[in-house]
Chain A
Amino acid sequence: MNPFDYTVAHSVQDAINAIGSSARPPKVLAGGTTLVDLMRLNVEQPVAVLDITRIPDLNYIDTQEPDALVFGALARMSDVADNPVVRRDYPILSESLWRAASQQLRNMASVGGNLLQRTRCAYFRDPQYPCNKREPGSGCSALDGINRGHAVLGASDQCIAVYPGDLAIALVALDASIDVQSTAGRRTLKVADLHREPGRTPNLETALRPDELILRIRVPKSRLGKASTYLKIRDRESYAFAIASAAVALDMDGDVVRDARIAVGGLATRPWRAQVAEQSLVGKTLTEAAAAQAGRLALQGAVTRPQNAFRVELGANTVAEALNIARGRA
């Protein structure tokens, strides 16, 4: 790990001043479960780190607002997962959190930081390999390397690294947004617009500017919460990244779908909302065949490599199964 300066922000104003006033802004440190790990691997080499975990007014969960669930950026993943209202009314959110990482990591990791989790592509994490995301123009080692776990949706010829998070998939399905702040002011953006596809610039991962700090996540309250699930398929039963996942939420009128939300994870370079699949269900009876068809539509446009081709069918089946689980909760 390279040496770095360490400072503590005691307020939001402190933090945005620190990251807004320098030509080389400090790297923001919250739970540290991604950043410290990548610093130890020399993938991240910040000259300065700004610890925001002492900011008191960013660690909260507010379920009382009439039209939204609000999570402060520093709310811990474990606390949101175990929140009684989230568990009861939004299983899709709770499941996306407790099925991620381990309880120790969820106790550390903030929900704001989790949205910005970096890819687990082994070539990105090892500086001895070429990687366009880590070192633009150096090449992509995964294209013809070990790519069983790499993206089949949203990839480019520059990068096929998967976005590894789970919470963001559920948030995209629920149309959530984030409030961010910089010295220039405050703005709101949809979580769906936060992550970028790699295209020709895989090093640019989000729509955030370097001087912006995430303040909170807002999830619109809706009837879609209860009949929902986050189904995560892994190589082992627990404590692993998704090889396919589906965030599904339904609003049912008897057996007929009034509204549906579908997003897939573990398969794409960013959280992947599947609106064509959603539309295929609206106004229809949710039969096994309709669920299977929605699953196939969600994976429409997949581009595979020999090692990861099996995950197209796996992804489609994951969506279909998630729809069945969600329907059972309606």
Chain B
Amino acid sequence: MTDEDPLAFDRREVTAIGIAAAVLPTLLPANEAAAAAPVGGGVVLQVNGVRHDLGSLDTRATLLDVLRERIGLFGAKKGCDHGQCGACTVHIDGRRVVSCLTLARQAEGRAVTTIEGLASAGGHLHPMQQAFLDHDALQCGYCTPGQIMSAIACIKEGHAHTVEDIREYMSGNLCRCGAYVGIVAAIEQVMAQESAT
């Protein structure tokens, strides 16, 4: 493995030692990391318009791991880590994908957008973020960044013209709190706003 600390980013204080210990193996399995893990040198990612020189990177690192553990963007969440829950949804070149099944190297040279890249520089929320607040489209909030990234793409793709379409094309984002009614209402609101302008 490299000399680099895989958790080089200065993690927030809320990330207690115990949690870090639980997260670390997902990035570098403790037993396997001891062996010489292949690394790719000079990996560069473009995230929310900002260039990130990551240096060498374990080939196993997913985009989700890198966003959270190296770049310090904690919006995209690790839910299932198998592409089944949608909590890690981000956009690559404007299309929604699950970042947990995307190897970080596959995102090189492409524009990655996360929930942190939505609000304007002045701090004004994206209309979809505002709509989620307006409709109480969340309870615990864990799935919300993925829901919002998916919802924006859903409209852009043209899959938000009916409630049935919205439900079908948002089915890759699970909400264990069951905030679906609010989520659909939020998407309808933004869809109506966009149709009016």
Contact = CB atoms under 8 A, between A and B. Distances in A.
Nearest to A1: B60
Nearest to B40: A6
B57 to A, nearest CB: 10
Interface stretch (A96-104, A131-139, A268-276): A96-104
Contacts of B60: 1, 3-4
Contact of A51 (B82, B106, B150): B106
A101 B37 CA distance: 32
A33 interface: yes
Contacts of B40: 6
B89 A104 contact: yes
B183 to A, nearest CB: 14
Interface string A134-172: 000000000000000000000000000000000000000
B33 to A, nearest CB: 9
A3 B173 CA distance: 30
B162 interface: no
Nearest to A2: B32
B82 A6 contact: no
Interface in B150-192: 150, 153-154, 157-159, 167-169, 171-173
Contacts of B167: 238
B38 interface: yes
A181 B39 CA distance: 30
B154 A104 contact: no
A40 B172 contact: no
Contact of B38 (A4, A51, A78, A82): A4
A32 interface: yes
A308 to B, nearest CB: 23
Interface in A175-228: none
Contact of A1 (B29, B86, B96, B150): B29
Contact of B157 (A37, A103, A105): A103
Contact of A36 (B58, B62, B157): B62
B67 interface: no
Nearest to A105: B83
A102 B101 contact: no
Nearest to A3: B37
A51 B108 CA distance: 12
A57 to B, nearest CB: 18
B172 A101 contact: yes
Given A6-B103, A6-B105, A37-B101, A107 B96 contact: yes
B115 interface: no
A252 to B, nearest CB: 28
Interface of A: 1-6, 8, 29, 32-33, 36-37, 40, 49, 51, 53, 78, 82, 98, 101-105, 107-108, 237-239
26 contacts: A3-B37, A3-B38, A3-B59, A4-B59, A5-B38, A6-B105, A8-B105, A29-B103, A29-B106, A32-B102, A32-B103, A36-B62, A37-B101, A51-B103, A53-B106, A78-B95, A101-B172, A103-B96, A103-B153, A103-B169, A105-B101, A105-B172, A108-B98, A108-B101, A238-B168, A238-B171
Interface of B: 29, 32, 35-38, 40, 58-60, 62, 81-83, 86, 89, 95-98, 101-103, 105-106, 150, 153-154, 157-159, 167-169, 171-173
